[in-house]
Structure 1
Amino acid sequence: MSAPAAATLTLHWSPRSPFVRKVMIGAHELGIADRLTQARNVVALHRPNDVVMAFNPLSKLPTLVVDEADGGREVFYDSHVICTYLDAHFGPGRLLPERLEDRLTALRQEALGDGVMELLLLRLFEGLRPEEARSADLLSSLHRKLRRSLEVMEQDLPSLTARPFDLGHLTIGVALSYLDFRFATEKWQDAHPRLKRWHDDFSGRPSVQATIPFDDA
């Protein structure tokens, strides 16, 4: 894989997607956000996007298209793969720690944060269905998983505070921010004051302030 010094990096993007925000925060942390050309696209489970599917058969965001100066092209998805690519070329080791123990911890925390974002998206989609069509069992299951995930995040604070900022911190922070964005009435902070304080610090980072989500469509 060649270094993308002269490559054009196009990120298929949405300001509402937590997984896109994860990539953009990573790009800001690496100091290369201005290298990414953001292509706005709308994707939905019930309506595949032909533009995105030309690069990503799953029709999901984020999708990164790397066009090399020699005419070659590479495509990367999902958020983990994109962050790994950016870290390898513009880090390295800034997002994914080089020390194996720290890297595995960061990847575990990333998996937890990604999982929370996925269950929040499921909860959002289920809430958009007509009330009579919603699954009470599914919503109850998602709620229980969220509550337990928040408990584990708070238990993991010593690990988060012991390491420099990496992909684990980033993904946990984005997941909590997405919870606030889509479910502001959740009031998770009342039961997890230490996690709230950590998230307040996360929210003050310039990379996080530069990527605040919004609804535009």
Structure 2
Amino acid sequence: MQLFHSHFSPFARKVMVVAHEHGLAESLELLPTAAHPVKRDGTILARHPLAQVPTLIDETGRAIADSRVICEYLDTRAGGGLFPEAGQARWIALNDQSTADGMLDAALLIRYELTARPESERSSAWIAAQQAKIESGLASFEGIAEALAGRVDIGTIALGCALGYLDLRFAEIVWRAAHPALGAWYEAFAARPSMMATRPPAA
């Protein structure tokens, strides 16, 4: 299998964490990309219409895009375990993934606003609105931090990657100070071999 990948993409990292958890990382050939929020990478576009990172190419040549779809594909391929099959545990994991991914979407939108737009075209109101989403997400997870302990599923993986991205790109958001229980959970979760193996280079 091949994966259009960037070491700085938190969504690509989520895929790689799942791959490491299942022992599939060595079966993935990582393909370099030039993905950009404005200028699409033609190499990825030739394989999938959204030209986004991550995009997986399976052994048949089929392209699978979106980290949520790729992660579930890899989990199913490995026999499951990171996506609870049914019941309350499944909806908790999927909802946590959705919230964590939403925080990442907001963080990336801020990043794009600051790096892809000229300063004269940036919107402080837009940036503030995305920051508010991140803050409310952090507060929500702080409230359930105790229940996160011991869980290793797609919800906690997505959350770990989201918090790691905040540390990478938004060091000015000192989120641990206001969310100590979440910070303690993340310190333990970030020590997992799969998280250590996928740490991005220093920004």
Q: How many Å separate the matches in 1 of 2:142 and 2:202? A: 29
TM-score using structure 1 length = 0.89
Calculate percent identity across the aligned residue pairs: 37
**Residue equivalent to 2:120:** 132
Aligned residues: 202
Q: Which of these residues, 52, 57, 62, is aligned with residue 65 of structure 1?
A: 57
Residues 27, 33 of structure 1: 8 Å contact kept:
yes
Residues 168, 202 of structure 2: 8 Å contact kept:
no
**Residue equivalent to 2:96:** 109
Stretch of structure 1 that moved more, 20-29 or 144-153: 144-153
Q: How many Å separate the matches in 2 of 1:164 and 1:198? A: 10
Deviation at residue 215 of structure 1 after TM alignment: 6.5
**Residue equivalent to 1:20:** 12
1:145 and 2:137 equivalent?
Answer: no
TM-score using structure 2 length = 0.95
What is the Cα-based RMSD across aligned positions, in Å? 1.4
**Residue equivalent to 2:29:** 37
Deviation at residue 139 of structure 1 after TM alignment: 1.1
1:188 and 2:180 equivalent?
Answer: no
1:85-125 CA distance string (max 9 Å, x none): 11111131x21012321111000000011111111011011
Deviation at residue 45 of structure 1 after TM alignment: 1.7
Q: How many Å separate the matches in 1 of 2:69 and 2:96? A: 15
Residues 108, 168 of structure 1: 8 Å contact kept:
yes
Q: How many Å separate the matches in 2 of 1:36 and 1:104? A: 29
Alignment gaps of 5+ in structure 2: none
Alignment gaps of 5+ in structure 1: 1-8
The residue type paired with residue 75 of structure 1 is A
The residue type paired with residue 31 of structure 1 is G
Deviation at residue 133 of structure 1 after TM alignment: 1.9
Instruction: Give the match's secondary structure for 2:58.
Output: strand
